[in-house]
A and B are shown apart, each in its own frame.
Chain A
Amino acid sequence: MNPLRRLAMTEWSGLAAAIVIGGLVLSLLAPNFLTEFNIYVMLRSFCVSLLVGFAQMVTLGVGQMNLSVGALGGLVAICFGGMMEVLGVPLPVAVIAAVILGAAGGLINGVLTERTGINGFIITLATASAFTGINFGITRSIPFYKMPPALVAFGEERISAFPYLLVAPLIVAALLGLFFARTVPGRRLLAVGGNPNAADLSGISRGRSIILAHTLSGTLAGIAAILAVAQLGSAQPTIGADWLLLSFAAPIIGGAALTGGYISVLGTMFAVVLIALIENGMVLAKVDPYWVQFLLGALILAAVWLNRWRAVRTGTA
């Protein structure tokens, strides 16, 4: 247990060090960096990204992947907006319905993967395309603009530098941490991811864990979509279109094992902070936004390489 704990410590400490150094450099170079408004902007972009990262993290935990996080997010976003604008559904009901829709999408992924035994990659590639198709078929790429004022206010208002929006991802993070550390289904999910055969032999239902992970992933994508609508003030069909890279970058930079069985809620949070910091730094430095894509790619490579190196070292030590 002890070396494992130390390993976890080094993972976070590396990320934390990168964040502190990055923050220091930015605050020295860019006087705008430490202003209340800039921190608010960063924290606001952090909210959706974190939930997107979590949505992928839970499927990585069980040793699966979900390529449909963004597509499902987009579908939930426009259904959420459409319900309120076209059907006049009240906000709380729409929120609940949107979360259920996300969960249902995830459930479809999970059941298809588990029942057929086909690689989750190809199943979610297919469902992602189907979700996107429904999204654009319904909206014909026209956004829903008339969102209830309460939702828009929730997306905009803040207490000094802290956006109201931040409440949702923090609660979700705490619940997820508890789920994976303290509850039976959470531990089972990771056990299945770590070693499916051993889990099978210990009487853990592999299928149920896979379905649970995908359903949870869909739910989190749904919550991310609701926050994205609140943040933008309108339900854009393009929400989620650029989530694919981010969804993998956050948990993997945060130390999740690609082979399943090991994830880190805190690591994922730190990774999203780092990504938000990089994006913000790029904006402040007025660099081409294309650099973000390039750097995220490089960061993922560095992170997987580092994880691999660490695994090899601890394996031989």
Chain B
Amino acid sequence: MTTEEATTEAPAPRSRLALGALLAQFGLVVIIVAFWVFFSSQASGFLSPFNLFNIGRDLAIDIIIGFSQMVVLATGGMSLAVGAIGVCAVMMAGYLMQTLGLPVWLSVIGALALGAALGWLNGFAIVRTGINAFIITLASANLFSGAMLILTKAVPFNALPPEIGAFGRMKIGFVSPLLVTALVLGVVLFILFRYTTLGRQLLAAGANPRAAAMSGVPVGRIIISAHILSGLLAAIAGLLLVTRLGAAMPSVGGNDWLLPSFLGPVIGGTLLSGGSVSVVGTVLGALLVTTIRSGLLVLQIGSFWLDFFLGVILLLAVLVDRYRGLYAERIRGAR
């Protein structure tokens, strides 16, 4: 599987790959626009400023959850602990603000540090033991959530400083500052992967670890960096969720983030085998997910069928991606 993917990718000229990704993103935009047209024609409330504001807030969190998975996928790994790290950061922030009464900025730093530290633990365990990232993060996700529940006794922090909720309700026009945060992070990640050494090394380690190691990339350290970054992003997503809910709840994150974390990047064209990322694609993928979720809500189909649609869409996305790859291969073979 991995080798097939590698042979598909390796000989392709960069420009054509980029063109393929661009076409895929264009297709995604068309699908999203079609959904928007459909939902707004079916329910007039869909395009109301209120709903747009809500979509923006949900979108922000979905985007960052997607980023958190994307940076690990770039190195050819995966993290099942994104949701667990997110909820640990949430409860850490709540504890620091409510129980210890620390100022907000210090609590935010504390929560982000915890996220990065838990990410580091994942990366360290994976690199040190050489065991599959799937099983390490499956185990660590349960360790993290379990420890969080034992320590907090699953009691939410409800009496947070009022600024927290106010930030979540703030509007710039009908855009939430949450969405602005997510988009700024997107720009930062775009620059990271496009223009910095660390970003290029992350991709190189994902595309072909052996070749990267031979060219002097410290693959182990790079994989740990990816997990630290992923933990940090998961913590940011958690913090935004705290501002959205105005409270730190132990029930957020966890396994609920598993599917969205893969949906965004995979729909957006990030390869599971590593070596490629698409920041714009991840944003668009998250937008598709949020659109469908909100649309089903506005149409009052409710959330019961949501999982079904998300699953089918993920399946279609990977199938289309696969056949696009095979088609490109065939064209190349014919020449």
Contact = CB atoms under 8 A, between A and B. Distances in A.
Given A126-B314, A133-B307, A300 B139 contact: yes
Interface stretch (B28-36, B43-51, B54-62, B140-148): B140-148
Nearest to A63: B1
A297 B143 contact: yes
B331 interface: no
Given A118-B322, A304-B131, A294 B147 contact: yes
A300 to B, nearest CB: 4
Interface string B58-75: 000000000000000000
B138 interface: yes
A125 B314 contact: yes
B5 to A, nearest CB: 9
Given A118-B322, A130-B308, A308 B130 contact: yes
A10 interface: no
Interface stretch (A17-25, A46-54, A136-144, A161-169): A136-144
A69 to B, nearest CB: 13
Nearest to B258: A125
Interface string B136-166: 1011111101110110011000000000000
B135 A300 contact: yes
Given A245-B138, A296-B142, A133 B131 contact: no
Question: How many B residues touch the partner, as a band?
Answer: 35 or more
A126 B305 CA distance: 14
Contacts of A305: 129, 131
Given A116-B319, A288-B149, A293-B145, A126 B311 contact: yes
Contacts of A298: 139, 143
Contacts, number: 131
A133 B322 CA distance: 24
Contact of B132 (A116, A258, A301): A258
A224 to B, nearest CB: 19
Given A245-B138, A293-B145, A119 B1 contact: yes
B309 interface: yes
A52 to B, nearest CB: 15
A183 interface: no
A309 to B, nearest CB: 9
A112 interface: yes
Interface in A53-95: 65
Contacts of A123: 315, 318
B31 to A, nearest CB: 17
Given A125-B258, A133-B308, A297-B140, A304 B129 contact: yes
Contacts of B322: 116-118
B255 A136 contact: no
Given A133-B307, A137-B304, A141-B304, A290 B146 contact: yes
B131 A127 contact: no
B314 A122 contact: yes
Q: Which of B146, B272, B305 has the most CB of A within 10 A?
A: B146
Given A123-B315, A294-B143, A301-B139, A117 B4 contact: yes
A132 interface: yes
A121 B145 CA distance: 22
A216 to B, nearest CB: 21
Nearest to A289: B149
Interface residues of A, number: 44
Given A291-B150, A293-B146, A134 B140 contact: no
A301 B134 contact: no
A122 B318 contact: yes
Q: Which of B150, B258, B259, B304 has the most CB of A within 10 A?
A: B304
A186 B312 CA distance: 32
Q: Which of B142, B308, B318 has the most CB of A within 10 A?
A: B142
A125 B310 CA distance: 10
A3 to B, nearest CB: 22
A172 interface: no
Contacts of B272: 119, 121-122
Contact of A127 (B134, B136, B302, B311): B311
Contacts of B193: none
A128 interface: yes
B217 interface: no
Given A125-B314, A129-B308, A301 B259 contact: no
Contact of B307 (A112, A136, A293): A136
A245 B154 CA distance: 20
Interface string B281-314: 0000000000000000000001011111111101
Contacts of B125: 301
B311 A65 contact: no
Given A121-B272, A122-B314, A126-B314, A137 B129 contact: no
A125 B69 CA distance: 14
Contact of B305 (A137, A245, A296): A137
B226 interface: no
A146 to B, nearest CB: 22
Interface of A: 65, 112, 116-119, 121-123, 125-134, 136-137, 140-141, 244-245, 248, 252, 258-259, 288, 290-298, 300-301, 304-305, 308
A-B interface, 4 closest residue pairs, ranked by CB to CB distance from nearest: A133-B308, A294-B146, A129-B311, A130-B311
Interface of B: 1, 4, 78, 125, 129-132, 134-136, 138-143, 145-147, 149-150, 153-154, 255, 258-259, 262, 266, 272-273, 302, 304-312, 314-315, 318-319, 322
16 contacts: A118-B319, A125-B258, A125-B259, A126-B312, A126-B315, A134-B308, A137-B308, A258-B132, A288-B149, A290-B154, A294-B142, A296-B142, A298-B143, A301-B125, A301-B136, A304-B139
Given A112-B315, A288-B150, A300-B138, 6 more contacts: A121-B272, A129-B259, A293-B146, A300-B135, A300-B139, A308-B131
